A and B are shown apart, each in its own frame.
Chain A
Amino acid sequence: MTVFGGRRPAWRLWALAVLAVALAAPILVANPYTSRLSQLLFLNVALASAWNLIGGFAGQISFGNSSLFGVGAYATAMLWLAGVPPLLTMPVAAAAAAAYGAAWGWPCLRLRGPYFAIATIGVAEATRIAVNQFDPAGGASGLTLPIEQDAGGGALYVMGAVLALGSVLVSDRIRRSRLGLGLFALREDAQAAAASGVNVARQQVVAFAIAAALTGLAGSYYAQFTLYVVPEKVFGFDLSISLVLMVLVGGIGTVAGPILGAAVYLILEQFVLASLPDIHLAMFGLLLMGIVLFEPGGLAPRLAQAGSGARSLIRRWRRPGGTS
């Protein structure tokens, strides 16, 4: 596994291609389904990139990101119903999710590995049950949002694109920063990192709060395009599992991995599961086991191989008889 991730250009090309397709598709093929797919991809890219900040860079596997997503979705939904324009609710959603993330991240991030993972399940489930019982937020039946007349697919498309690109850029920026170095160091060896002067506790909480803000924004975005939030969905465990899967499939700890994983996941979800809805859990399970057992690095290294293979073929074809 490369420590810094995303260094090999071939992964980036694939990831950029994915984003370019998502950006271009709704413009080229103007139908509601295409733009819906693009929006879902933007959403997944943002969520997976945010998960990867702490799950990939710092190696802290979280099953609790649904709690942050839900806080963002509910912040937007409740404020919107109170009369605040949806766009103005987005900073509130981000801040609320960041605050909630920092509040539970601060104690839980002191745990490592499996302990952290289990604690996040506890937090997420407790949050879900509490919201289910919370009547001012609609309880278990959730909240339905008004259908906007003026803001059509165009505004959502731009918003999604900004969100997805923004998350990727933040992720790339952190990877190169001092914060990123600290996270990588503590992933490899937390004690050694602490001994060499990394403020392990603070670095993790800062990264987690950034990830939480992005996840909350994604939740807000989700509320705006589905116009319906319900605890079982936005606080649901399935959401958290899907994030783990996306990043593992794409390539954990890399900037491009979450983009690739988000695309693969979307394709699976839309085209395979749509026809076989009864086996989605088993498919997630098999995918998870398959990756962990046979391909722990995810797709990214494979694509890099495929990319460099193709490149050397081209080189050979250009210069016949050349050595490479």
Chain B
Amino acid sequence: MADLLSVLVSGVLVGTVYAYMAYGLGLIYGVLRVVNLAHGAFLTLGVYVTWWLHAAFGLDPLVSLLVTVPLGFFLGALVERSLVFRLRDSPPVTTLLLLFGVWLIVRNVLYLIFGGADRSLLTDYSLESFAMGPLAVSLPRVIVAVFSLLGFLVLALLLKKAWAGLALRAVAGDREAASLSGIPVNRVWAVAFGIGSALAMSAGSLMSLFYSVTPEFGARFLLKSFCVVVLGGLTNMGGILVAGVALGVAEDLTAFYFHTGYRDVVSFIVLVLALVLRRADTG
């Protein structure tokens, strides 16, 4: 029983960061109607930048958020301005292929610089855990879950209260109407892509605390992000949080009851089911 409970707790904690990692994808889709396959690239870049800052300067992964958030925003806005914007009138699949190209290039550059070996980032508290009743809870997972929730909260406030957030929501709702009421739609697009990418890169920082660092990191978590976003409803923050937690718990239960090797299959099956069922509802 205690085993099952600790599996559930760990699933919930991981699920929170899943939701945080996925939200950028939903935001970009909501505002630009673009499926950002470069999301995987930003996740991976986040992990590597964090790992490198730790290896070279001993910077704590949580401190490196101060680097990955602005860097992610800048790189995301750059990709939008220089590439995505050119295809604004093309069918959505072309943008998907374009961003897929970006991801392939980033992956290759990371292989060239760092090689394909798995690396890991160990801090003083990486292996710490504390007792909560009969359960042993891993400290880094709690920290990451808390940061993810904080990130969600900040973003929710930004979208609700700030003018930029209002503009973002307006463009997501109706691009034409937003443009007619004087909202600079082009700039809003770049900002949305920037925020989405900043979320992805900072998620990489957080996740470096308990996942190994490889150029394939993004491949694994890009599809989980899709799964969460599709299951939760593209820009619905509450839905995405619930979906992230559900996926985290489902994966941990699968690993616990069946085989750890099947952990990643869960997300793919859920992804396909969610896509098929949700689209069937909406037509």
Contact = CB atoms under 8 A, between A and B. Distances in A.
Given A244-B97, A289-B83, 19 more contacts: A61-B93, A61-B96, A107-B276, A108-B276, A111-B279, A114-B92, A114-B96, A122-B272, A126-B268, A129-B262, A133-B259, A133-B262, A278-B112, A279-B108, A281-B111, A284-B101, A285-B103, A289-B102, A293-B87
Interface string A67-78: 000000000000
A152 B280 CA distance: 51
Nearest to B106: A285
A166 interface: no
A118 interface: yes
A118 B104 contact: no
7 contacts: A118-B35, A118-B271, A119-B272, A278-B112, A289-B105, A292-B101, A296-B94
A123 interface: yes
A287 B107 CA distance: 15
A315 interface: no
Interface string A101-133: 000100110110111011101110110011011
A147 interface: no
A312 to B, nearest CB: 32
Contact of A114 (B35, B111, B272): B35
A226 to B, nearest CB: 23
A119 B276 contact: yes
Given A133-B261, A133-B262, A292-B98, A123 B268 contact: yes
Interface in A36-58: none
Given A114-B96, A119-B272, A129 B104 contact: no
Interface in A122-158: 122-123, 125-126, 129-130, 132-133
Interface string A236-262: 010001001000100000000000000
Shortest 3 CB-CB contacts between residues of A and residues of B: A285-B104, A126-B268, A282-B108
A125 B221 CA distance: 12
B100 interface: yes
B226 A279 contact: no
Contacts of A118: 35, 226, 230, 271, 275
B59 interface: no
A32 B230 CA distance: 50
A130 B262 CA distance: 7
A266 interface: no
Give the interface SS of chain B, mostly helix, strand, loop or mixed. helix
B243 to A, nearest CB: 15
A129 B227 CA distance: 17
A288 B275 contact: no
B265 interface: yes
B101 A289 contact: yes
Contacts of B107: 281
Contact of B223 (A115, A125, A133, A287): A125
Contact of B272 (A61, A126, A130): A126
A117 B112 CA distance: 28
B221 to A, nearest CB: 12
Contacts of A111: 275-276, 279
A248 B101 CA distance: 13
A163 B280 CA distance: 37
Interface string B231-267: 0000000000000000000000000000101101100
Listed residue (B87, B107, B279) with the most chain A CB atoms within 10 angstroms of its CB: B279
B177 interface: no
Contacts, number: 120
B161 interface: no
Interface string B101-134: 1111101110110000000000000000000000
Nearest to A282: B108
Contact of A119 (B97, B261, B265, B275): B275
Nearest to A285: B104
Contacts of A284: 101, 104
Contacts of B109: 282
Contacts of B227: 122
A114 B101 contact: no
A145 B236 CA distance: 51
A121 B223 contact: yes
Interface in B84-98: 86-87, 90-94, 96-98
Contacts of A121: 223, 226
B55 interface: no
Nearest to B34: A114
Interface in B60-99: 83, 86-87, 90-94, 96-98
B83 A293 contact: yes
B271 A119 contact: yes
Contact of B98 (A61, A241, A282, A289): A289
Contacts of B91: 113
A114 B25 CA distance: 13
Given A133-B261, A281-B104, A117 B96 contact: yes
